[in-house]
Chains A and B, each alone.
Chain A
Amino acid sequence: MTGRAPWPMLAGLLLLTAVAHLTTGPVAIPLAELPDHVIVHAVRLPRLIVVLLAGAMLGLAGALLQTVTRNPLAEPGLMGVSAGAVLAIVLAIIAASRIEGLGMVRDTGWHLGLAGVAGGMLAGALTYALSRRHGVSRPVLLVLMGVLVAGSASAVTSMLLLTADDNQLRLVLHWTIGSTNGRGWVHVEMLAPYAAAGLSMGLLSAGIANALQLGDGVAACLGLRVEPARLMLIFAAAVLTAGAVSVVGGIGFVGLIGPHLARMLVGNDARRLFPAAALVAALLLTLADLGARSLPLGWIEAWSRSPVTAPSGIPVGVVTPLLGVPFFLWLVFAHRPRA
């Protein structure tokens, strides 16, 4: 199963999908006009960059956490980082509207992004602190405490949403479902620092991750200082997840499936797995975004008897599970371990 050279194929597919992403939409743009079309520059290119970066970030975060916890079901939201980021953003939207004179906060706001990153990192730190015993964090506890922290944050988010008005709810949905609609250059700028820091930290720690995935005992015997190493990998995953979720919301599945597909392509060696997981997840999210923009809205409108309010299409967070669930079923049933 381990292909020798999947890189040219991945790069080719990514390029094809990116071009398709730029050329299709409400206005079809011919390939020749791509370089200097105003819609491409103002709308589609920044959205494509946001999609590529967020996909890569979620994919690498998933691969990092699957390696650290040695749990194939680990995904970027595992440490409660996604739920914490969404909670902080909802809190910021609702609190800001309560303050006189501030009015309605636009979802392009930098401060929402910062609040999201702060909330996500705080939730991640809480999970890590709760899973430490005698100065050592246990991967099993990380998973369990992550579920608790994420569950608590989601419960508080739901309570806050009960007090929100219609406009706030519509805005909040962008983060709870996950959406790339209306993402522009400001979002590229918001994403860039976390992408740069998290991607480089994550990719450079692949050698350490390789030793760590053999388990604490063996890793220590190989001369790895286990706890600082694990903290570094977890921190990189938290930066990647919090940064991505703050801009595009809690998009599910790409951070779970990306690493699995990458592992089928390049194997377990983190030095190949990590970059492959980032590329595959970026490819998946671009495909999902393409799908989200192309899905006909007519049937939803006919069913709900009210116009769908998102002019730029269905949020991509709705599409990723549609893409992810069949894939996961196939993965589970087609690759049953031999008895």
Chain B
Amino acid sequence: MMLAPNPETGLRAEALSVGYGDRAVLERVALHLPRGGITALVGPNGSGKSTLLKALARIMAPSGGTVLLEGQAIARLPSAEVARRLAVLPQAPVAPAGMTVAELVEQGRYPHAGPLRMLRRQDHDAIRDALAATGMTGFAGRALDELSGGERQRAWIALTLAQDTPWLLLDEPTTFLDIGHQLEVLELVARLNRERGITVLMVLHDLAQAARFADRLVVLHGGRLHSEGPPGTVLTPAMLAEVFRIEARIIPDAETGRPHMLPIRHLPDGAPAC
């Protein structure tokens, strides 16, 4: 374990292992996320994507290794301090029945609030700002259970924005949304990254969307880091065959210049990878 102060500003995992009971989910993952871009965490079901996100966010304690947030061991930082630097949206969160958008977004100020949790001027400013940035100002008084899936997800993202953190970690933010609402959410995330300089790490299932919206892909396979880098170098037929067991064609998107994937068929187990 490294104890020397580290001048870096990124989020770093060093030999990170996580397990449930005696079942290892992540084994000695080393990863460095610099400040700035959008990183997509991809991998097949059960590859440890969500677990890695939770361990990086300090929601799950690792069984080995360290997570360093801007050079500091995250395990030794107070919970509220972590929540002031790093916002996390878990997968498919559920709000209590009847809760309004404003009531939800207000909770983003929890780590900033004083002991009595009364809202101050800067809290109200942050809440108003978060609602505006997600286009939810007009929905503030509406109950979450009356909204469409896309609107609801925007409200939850507004909650993380109200936390006012430089880091935003999203666990499958497009789950249960139709394709239009998926793109709406991903475009919002891209805009927050571009306009506010928020560094984003998100778990995504859809590889085409990951390649389209992320600057970097991190591929997990069986609890280990398989590969990482720009979509152009990571999204290859070889990786898709080995990790996802599919045969696919990669073609460059004429408009975005990013790689586009055309899945062709599932490869039966035991078939040679490439």
Chain A proximity of B58: nearest CB distance (Å): 8
B100 and A268 within 8 A (CB): yes
Residues of A within 8 A of B71 (CB): none
Chain B proximity of A135: nearest CB distance (Å): 11
B70 lies within 8 A of chain A by Cβ: no
Q: Tell me, in angstroms, the Cα distance from A220 to B110 when the chains sit together.
A: 11
Q: Tell me, in angstroms, the Cα distance from A271 to B114 when the chains sit together.
A: 14
Provide the A196-209 mask, 1 if CB < 8 A to any CB of B, else 0: 00000000101110
Looking at the complex, which one of A2, A70, A208, A225 makes contact with B79 (CB distance below 8 Å)?
A: A225
A2 and B93 within 8 A (CB): no
User: With A206-B117, A221-B87, A222-B163 in contact, do A72 and B97 touch (Cβ < 8 Å)?
Assistant: yes
Q: Tell me, in angstroms, the Cα distance from A337 to B96 when the chains sit together.
A: 13
Chain B proximity of A287: nearest CB distance (Å): 25
A218 lies within 8 A of chain B by Cβ: yes
A223 and B110 within 8 A (CB): yes
Residues of A within 8 A of B146 (CB): 338
Residues of A within 8 A of B80 (CB): 223
Chain B proximity of A218: nearest CB distance (Å): 5
Majority secondary structure, B binding face? mixed
B104 lies within 8 A of chain A by Cβ: yes
Most chain B C-beta atoms within 10 Å of own C-beta, residue among A215, A221, A263, A271: A221
Residues of A within 8 A of B90 (CB): 215, 217-218, 221
Nearest residue (CB) in B for A206 is B117
Q: Tell me, in angstroms, the Cα distance from A218 to B54 when the chains sit together.
A: 11
Nearest residue (CB) in B for A71 is B96
Q: Tell me, in angstroms, the Cα distance from A217 to B53 when the chains sit together.
A: 12
A34 lies within 8 A of chain B by Cβ: no
Provide the B57-84 mask, 1 if CB < 8 A to any CB of A, else 0: 1010000000000000000001111111
Q: How many residues of B contact A (CB 8 A)?
A: 38
Chain A proximity of B8: nearest CB distance (Å): 23
Chain A proximity of B218: nearest CB distance (Å): 20
Looking at the complex, which one of B95, B99, B111 makes contact with A222 (CB distance below 8 Å)?
A: B111
B24 lies within 8 A of chain A by Cβ: no
B103 and A222 within 8 A (CB): no
A207 and B59 within 8 A (CB): no
Chain A proximity of B217: nearest CB distance (Å): 24
B151 lies within 8 A of chain A by Cβ: no
Provide the B81-119 mask, 1 if CB < 8 A to any CB of A, else 0: 111100111100111111110011011101101001110
B59 and A222 within 8 A (CB): no
A268 and B110 within 8 A (CB): no
Chain A proximity of B168: nearest CB distance (Å): 11
Nearest residue (CB) in B for A213 is B96
Q: Tell me, in angstroms, the Cα distance from A23 to B251 when the chains sit together.
A: 86
User: With A72-B97, A214-B93, A338-B146 in contact, do A207 and B116 touch (Cβ < 8 Å)?
Assistant: yes
A232 lies within 8 A of chain B by Cβ: no
Q: Tell me, in angstroms, the Cα distance from A279 to B9 when the chains sit together.
A: 50
Q: Tell me, in angstroms, the Cα distance from A271 to B94 when the chains sit together.
A: 20
Nearest residue (CB) in B for A204 is B116
Provide the B29-56 mask, 1 if CB < 8 A to any CB of A, else 0: 0000000000000000000000000000
Residues of B within 8 A of A218 (CB): 89-90, 93, 107, 159
User: With A211-B107, A223-B82 in contact, do A268 and B116 touch (Cβ < 8 Å)?
Assistant: no
Q: Tell me, in angstroms, the Cα distance from A218 to B93 when the chains sit together.
A: 7
Chosen A-B contacts, 22 in total, with CB atoms closer than 8 Å, are: A2-B100, A70-B96, A72-B97, A207-B117, A210-B106, A210-B107, A210-B117, A211-B110, A214-B93, A215-B94, A218-B90, A218-B93, A218-B159, A221-B83, A221-B87, A223-B78, A223-B110, A224-B110, A267-B99, A267-B100, A268-B103, A337-B97
A-B pairs, top 3 by smallest CB distance, nearest first, are: A207-B117, A223-B83, A217-B90
Binding site for A on B (CB under 8 A): 57, 59, 78-84, 87-90, 93-100, 103-104, 106-108, 110-111, 113, 116-118, 141, 145-146, 159-160, 163
